[in-house]
Structure 1
Amino acid sequence: MDVLERSMEILRAYPLCDSCLGRLFAQLGYALENAERGSAIKTLLHMKLVTEYRQGADVSGDLKSLARVHRPTRRFLASVGVAVEDSQCYICGGLTSSVERYAKDAVVQLSGVDFETFAVGTTLPREVLERESEVVKRFLISTGESIKHEINRRIGREILKLLPGKKVDKQRPNVLVRIDLVTGKVDVVRNPLLIEGVYLKLSRRVSQAKKFGDVKASLLEKLAHVRDLYGGVEHLIHVSGREDSDARMLGPGRPLVIEVKNPSRYRGLPGRYEDGDVIYIPRGFTVREEIRRLKDKAKTDIKLYRALVYSENPLTETDLAKLGELTGKTILQYTPRRIKRLSPRKRRTRMVYELAWRLVSPHVFELYIRCQGGLYVKEFIHGDGGRTTPSVAEILNTYLEVLELDVLSIE
């Protein structure tokens, strides 16, 4: 069945406006709006039916069906003494006739937001969607698009006219224009801004997110200027692993993503930040998937630590040589006593790949540990009362205390 025959069959059953008729054949043709496509179909049907009527064919029923939604056909029938009333579109009820007007309200809502990309989302009356589904299923339409898709596109195109230079991005827009076609309400959702980078922590009194004990500041606090730069109302940090507040993060730094919520600006990277406690180096904008990748990667990263360790018993180079036994070992750890309130029975296994050491004095030695991410390094050294095994303390058979701990690199 060709397009004209199928369209006539549909119009016999339902009065449809130009947009709703044309939308059923949206995949046919190129560079046509649905209303143009629907109008062209009706015009061709009008020409065909009027010609057949004048040749004596009994097409009055089809003419009346078309006349319900086509003014030239109503005029023709009126000229031969047949009156037909204009009918409301069965699917949209006239909803599609002026959706572009919402673009002006959206532009007002977007004033004051420095953005580059946007998307449009709409809420339609449920009965409109149900009626569209009814028509599509009844006539087995496989060439159409949804009314929501059409309306979103038309409003988006109008916004582009009013705000030249902006771009539509349906996957990761800076802002989402939401339009409720039930209530007529228009609002704008400012999506979070995600900035990837690395940080170094030079102080032993700075935590990642929360202040406690003798911690003087948090990395989260120190990066508040990034939130302010983009006019955000809140910011979060997503980090690939973590170090204790009294451990320094050195070397090339630890990857992180700063999330700025509800920003009013989406352009321009922050500059490098340094205050003696931390160094922050931004790399660029990123996407939500990068946060998940950071979290997953933290479990498999290879990390190099330096620890300065106190031993209750005096040690010699010969004693420290025993630590070679730990190279290539799998370490079993129960949740450390210092944090076991979170999950006291949880246990994990992590690999220790390499160890190196240097005796500083009979009671102090320096230890370098290359290991799998997620190893509780302090507990690996002092044993945590047997909750970590094997441990450095177990091998050396002495009480150990970690005096300093630094993260030197993350591979």
Structure 2
Amino acid sequence: MVKLCSYCKERNRTPLPECPDSECFVCRGASAKLEKMADEAAGKIPQGWKSFAVSTNVPREMMAREEAVWDYGLGRSVKDDFNRRIVAALAERTGLGYDFVKADGKVVFDFAKGEARLENADLFVYGKYKKFRSDIAQSEWTCKNCNGKGCEECDFEGVKYDSVEVIIGNAAKALYGAKDAELHSSGREDVDALNLAGRPFVLELRKPDRGKLQLKALADAVNTRESGVEITDLQYVSNGEVALVSDSHFDKAYEAEMEVEGGFAHEDAGKIMALAGSMLSQRTPHRVKHRRSDLVRKRRILGLRILGEKPPKIYVLAEAGTYIKEFISGDAGRTEPSVSGALGKKAKCIKLSVVEIRDGFLGDVLGY
């Protein structure tokens, strides 16, 4: 049974049962330690500072556990909530103002180590990335076999796949002299899916030695044929846009090439088109149920077109969070209705591309 501490229960607005702080499924007691960490941080801030910025390092494992809880209720993300509480606590203890753009320095709360420290203020770059190769992950994918040390399974690279995060991050670290870089994005696509639409992201550069450079230099460093990644619409933003982008979810359009058992007949097109407007019942797919709660989610197919018959190819516009591969295959009955069910024969997606992300409101907010 998933149980939450009082902080995480309130934050997620969920009916899940409450438990002692140290037994919390999501934070493992980190929420309760925040106030003590704020006391320690306030004592480290030197005289002369007029304002401060805040950064939180939340373990990926904690964020992954939080994703499972989102299936029971959506609230503020743990990172957003920690930031909000930290800012209030430091302002109260120091009398300083919070300024995410022109802060005199930054206070880093590292919840992996349970400590707070001072650092140079980070830089934040908003943009959109496209992914043209089907062997690139979005986030850095450390090889589980060797835990990043390098082995035969990963060709002694330490990672399972190239990643958008590493390709953009390495270029940015070299340009800015930054110690580290982290990619915050609005959702993600599968490793084998192409992204031709441009997915919004914010790149966080930690401890940069250099100030704000011309962003064209970053685009030129990333946008090479060899990288398989392209970044556009770059602009400097505040750390407040991290939550804005990472917590936003958008309807998306896809082009999916299929393989149909026994071949695709002309009359099959009409059977597929009958699914337009359908409300899907999608039980957590087999391929992700090891990291997601086993629930049934309702998602609607907003638009559908036949793009070709040889090979069969369809255009799908769907609500945020729809599993497109499973909409096609049916996932052994876990998604209904499905293309396979409509055709009465097995169908599977063999090539998937994101061709549109309906993220227009970000442009209104960020002014691009």
Q: TM-score, normalised by structure 1?
A: 0.54
User: What CA deviation, in whole Å up to 9, does each residue of 1:297-340 have, x standing for no partner?
Assistant: 21xx2211001100012232212211222111111112111111
Given candidates 161, 170, 176, the residue that maps to 2:105 is: 176
The separation in 2 between residues aligned to 1:269 and 1:357, in whole angstroms, is 43
User: What CA deviation, in whole Å up to 9, does each residue of 1:360-382 have, x standing for no partner?
Assistant: 33xx3011101112111111111
Q: Which amino acid aligns with 2:234?
A: R
Given candidates 115, 125, 132, the residue that maps to 1:195 is: 125
The separation in 2 between residues aligned to 1:169 and 1:266, in whole angstroms, is 20
Aligned to 2:267, what secondary structure does the other structure show? helix
Report the counterpart of residue 273 of structure 2 in structure 1.
Answer: 324
The two structures, once aligned, show a CA RMSD in angstroms of 2.8
Report the counterpart of residue 366 of structure 1 in structure 2.
Answer: 313
The alpha-carbon deviation at position 358 of structure 1 amounts to 3.7
1:294 has 2:245 as partner: yes
* Aligned partners of 2:329 and 2:338 also within 8 Å: yes
The separation in 1 between residues aligned to 2:93 and 2:314, in whole angstroms, is 66
Specify the structure having the higher radius of gyration (Cα). 1
Q: 5 Å matches for 1:131-280?
A: 149=95, 170-176=99-105, 188-211=118-141, 216-223=161-168, 224-251=170-197, 253-271=198-216, 272=219, 273-276=222-225, 277-280=228-231
The separation in 2 between residues aligned to 1:119 and 1:229, in whole angstroms, is 27
* Aligned partners of 1:334 and 1:344 also within 8 Å: no
Given candidates 303, 314, 325, the residue that maps to 1:378 is: 325
Given candidates 328, 335, 338, the residue that maps to 1:388 is: 335
Q: 5 Å matches for 1:102-117?
A: 103=48
The alpha-carbon deviation at position 169 of structure 1 amounts to 6.8
The separation in 2 between residues aligned to 1:372 and 1:394, in whole angstroms, is 20
* Aligned partners of 1:270 and 1:282 also within 8 Å: no
Q: 1:346 to 1:263 in 2, by over 3 A?
A: farther
Q: Which structure 2 residue ranges, 5 or more long, are not aligned?
A: 1-45, 54-91, 108-116, 144-152, 155-159, 359-368
* Aligned partners of 2:258 and 2:349 also within 8 Å: yes
Q: TM-score, normalised by structure 2?
A: 0.60
User: What CA deviation, in whole Å up to 9, does each residue of 1:42-83 have, x standing for no partner?
Assistant: xxxxxxxxxxxxxxxxxxxxxxxxxxxxxxxxxxxxxxxxxx
Report the counterpart of residue 57 of structure 1 in structure 2.
Answer: none
Report the counterpart of residue 51 of structure 2 in structure 1.
Answer: 119
The structure showing larger relative contact order (alpha-carbon pairs under 8 Å, at least 6 residues apart) is 2
Aligned to 2:212, what secondary structure does the other structure show? coil
User: What CA deviation, in whole Å up to 9, does each residue of 1:244-267 have, x standing for no partner?
Assistant: 11111113x111110112222331
Aligned to 1:235, what secondary structure does the other structure show? strand
Q: 1:220 to 1:320 in 2, by over 3 A?
A: same
Report the counterpart of residue 406 of structure 1 in structure 2.
Answer: 353
Q: 1:147 to 1:247 in 2, by over 3 A?
A: closer
Q: Which amino acid aligns with 2:51?
A: A
* Aligned partners of 1:250 and 1:407 also within 8 Å: yes
The separation in 2 between residues aligned to 1:147 and 1:220, in whole angstroms, is 36
Q: Which has a greater percent of helix?
A: 1
Q: Which amino acid aligns with 1:189?
A: E
The separation in 1 between residues aligned to 2:93 and 2:268, in whole angstroms, is 77
The separation in 2 between residues aligned to 1:290 and 1:120, in whole angstroms, is 17
